[in-house]
Structure formats: structure tokens, C-alpha cells
Amino acid sequence: MKNLGILLSGRGSNFEAIARNVAAGKIPAKIAVVVSNREEAPGLARAREMGLTARFIPSKGKEREAYDRDVVAALEEAQVDLVCLAGFMRILSPYFIRAFPRRILNIHPALLPAFPGLDAQKQALEYGAKFSGCTVHIVDEGVDTGPIVCQAVVPVLDDDTAETLAARILKEEHRIYSQAICLMLEDKVRIEGRRALITPWKYGQTP
């Protein structure tokens, strides 16, 4: 059984959706540790209620890499195979990324490469896009730039606010994040340059 490590900073609805799918046996893995850089993150409290190993690792006053060393140590201690960023509001250092090469996923609430960074739903609305959505990608050293594993498209309606659009996108986030995790755990994702190709056979095997 593979081990997941979840990193979050806030509400934690993506974490909860993953945890539900793990509990239902739909994701073949165990959540080995949940880490938050914010003590008050509701997601951290939920993880504790669920009886998971949940760790608050404070970032205040620490240099980026020093902080990342603490987090990587916690993930390694829990023998994590795949790291899932679920609303983790920090940019990872190259040290972190090299510790888990091609083994870190992130979810972003827009169709990358459109609208990277903060407030992606508001960006899409204000730009006037007719469709937006969400993206699960492998984390590289840029911000929201790594190879794309899964995307889902969501319409932008004329009477949308950033909040109503975010809610519509969030439903799809909850669905595709678990899908992408399964593909990664089952070694179905093959990276060629910028492209994450989904193969019906196991990586390394003859098709």
C-alpha cells in the first residue's frame, strides 16, 4: 500500500474529498500524514478528528528552505510516496522538489496555463472567459507550471460571482484530484517533456 502526504493551509475540502475516496477504497493508498503551516487550518482539525497523523509545522520566521527541510523530514518519516498539495499556500523550494522528484501533485482552480497564481476564479471571471475549470499538475520549480495530469472544464455563467464560479469549479476539483492520484499511484503517468501521457499499461512494461 502506498502512502500519501497531504499539505494544506486552510479549509481542506480537497483533502476531505481525497480522504473520503481513500476510506471508500477508491484510492489504493493510505493517508500517512497531513501537514499544515497554519495551526488554525480547519483541514488540520478535520484530519485530527479522522484520527490521521496531523502535524502543524510552523513556517513563521523560517527561511523557505529551512522550513521545507522540516516538512520533507516529516514526509520522509511517514514514508510518503506521493505528496498532494491541497490548498498549501507556499511555494516549494528546489530542495523540496528534488526530495520528491515528479512525486508532488497540485490542484489549481483554472485551466492552466491560463490564470496561474492567486484568485484564479476571479481572474477568469474578470477576463471574461466563457469557460474555466481546474487542473491537477505535477509540481516543478515554477509556479503552477508543471506537466498537466488532469483537467476539467466548467462554464462561466453571465450571473456568476467569483464565489459561485469557485463553487462550481470546486466540485470538479474534488473529482479530478482523486483521479489524478490514482493514475500516479498506478504508474500510469509517463512524462515526455512538458506532457504527462496517460498510458493504459504500467510504465516500464511492454504495452
Which residues on adjacent β-strands are paired with residue 198?
189
For the CA atoms of the chain, what is the radius of gyration?
A: 17
Cα dihedral: 73, 9, 19, 167 (round 10): -150
Choose the catalytic residue: 46, 108, 137, 174. 108
Instruction: State the DSSP string of 48-80.
Output: HHTT--EEE---TT--HHHHHHHHHHHHHHTT-
Judged by CB, which is closer to ligand GRF: 14, or 178? 14
**Are the C-beta atoms of 109 and 120 separated by less than 8 Å?**
yes
Residue 88 Cβ, how far from ligand GRF at the closest point, in Å? 8
108 is catalytic: yes
Judged by CB, which is closer to ligand GRF: 93, or 135? 135
Residue 148 Cβ, how far from ligand GRF at the closest point, in Å? 14
Distance of CA 53 to the CA centre of its chain: 18
Residue 169 Cβ, how far from ligand GRF at the closest point, in Å? 7
Binding site for ligand GRF (CB under 6 A): 8, 10-14, 43, 86-87, 107-109, 170, 173
CA distance 54 to 31: 10
SS3 16: helix
Q: Which residue is nearest to ligand GRF (CB)?
A: 87
Among 76, 80, 101, which Cα is nearest to 3's? Answer: 80
Judged by CB, which is closer to ligand GRF: 81, or 173? 173
Judged by CB, which is closer to ligand GRF: 76, or 163? 163
CB-side neighbour CA atoms (13 Å) of 105: 31
Question: Catalytic residue numbers?
Answer: 108
